[in-house]
Amino acid sequence: MFARAPGPAIRLLMWSALCVMLIVLDARFNALGWLRAGVVAVFYPVQLAVRAPFDLASEVSGFLTRHRALQNENAALRENSLRASAGLARLDSLQAENEELRGLLALRQNMEFGAVTAEILSTPRDPFSQRIMLDKGENFGIAAGQPVVDGTGLVGQVTRAYPFSAEVTLVTDRGHAVPVQIQRTGQRVLVFGAGSAMEVRYLPTHTDIQPGDVLVTSGIDRVYPAGLAVAKVTRVQRPTDSPYARVSCLPTAGVDKSRMLMVLKTPGGVRP
């Protein structure tokens, strides 16, 4: 009766059962981190090797950019730098004043933390999952839970750290919530990812919020340091049939534009 090898349908069932077991172990119990890390480590060199010619090509094409474009860019950068240094001077005086006030209030100083600059290694296949891979990982001290920023604001949070790479979930990912403050009024709200944009939920209709308001991290969750720009309010609707206002925002950071990102090594990194 058992002399014959099992037929294809039976073998498919057996392998499917194994797959389902893996899915359950990974999704429910998060127990397969070691397997993931191993596979990523094995294929990381291959990924780098295949990428190399493309990087080279983009470097060469960048080298051949027209002179005029470079001049324009240079002028724009110069202007930016002037403006930035003026702003920086103002910031310095503000910081000094702030430190004085903090000292007076005997408040705990905001801890200084290190930062790692990393480049985007790849975007996963599904462009709607709002995740990216960075080319640096545990070898540079990156750990799950650390915030990721670019020059203009918060980009996302490290959700998985591998030995040589790290996975970042962007702020625009559905199911990613960031506790923020409306900069103008100081009110604390929650902002959620909504595909390529973001939205503020659970905000009573009478709240003082208007298009153009900037949302910055409030720092009360101990994940994100306070004061990082997160989003700018683009539209406020106050529907009559709902107790909550509908507020749409756009992330201030170039979430899908910037290539170089910075991972902040916050001390109290909390796992997402």
For tokens 């797959």, name the residue: 19
Q: Which amino acid is residue 235, in one-letter code?
A: R
Are 110 and 124 a contacting pair, CB within 8 Å?
Answer: no
Are 194 and 171 a contacting pair, CB within 8 Å?
Answer: no
24 is an interface residue for another protein by CB under 8 A: yes
Q: Show the tokens assigned to 121.
A: 């290694």
Dihedral, CA of residue 126, residue 152, residue 164 and residue 51, to nearest 10: 60
- Residues that bind another protein (rule: CB under 8 A) add up to a total of 43
47 is an interface residue for another protein by CB under 8 A: yes
Q: Tell me the per-residue interface mask from 56 to 95 with another protein, x by CB under 8 A, - otherwise.
A: ----------------------------------------
The least CB distance from residue 35 to another protein, in Å, is: 7
Q: Show the tokens assigned to 142.
A: 């990156």
Interface pick for another protein out of 71, 110, 129, 242 (rule CB under 8 A): 129
Bridge partners of residue 178, in order along the sequence: 191
Closer residue to another protein (CB): 32 or 250: 32
Are 156 and 168 a contacting pair, CB within 8 Å?
Answer: yes
User: Of 12-20, 70-78, 85-93, 102-110, which part binds another protein (CB under 8 A)?
Assistant: 12-20
The least CB distance from residue 22 to another protein, in Å, is: 3
- Calculate the CA 80 to chain-centre distance: 25
Catalog residues that contact another protein under the rule CB under 8 A: 8-9, 11-12, 15-16, 18-28, 32, 35-36, 39-40, 43, 46-47, 50-51, 54, 121-129, 131, 133, 160, 167, 174-175
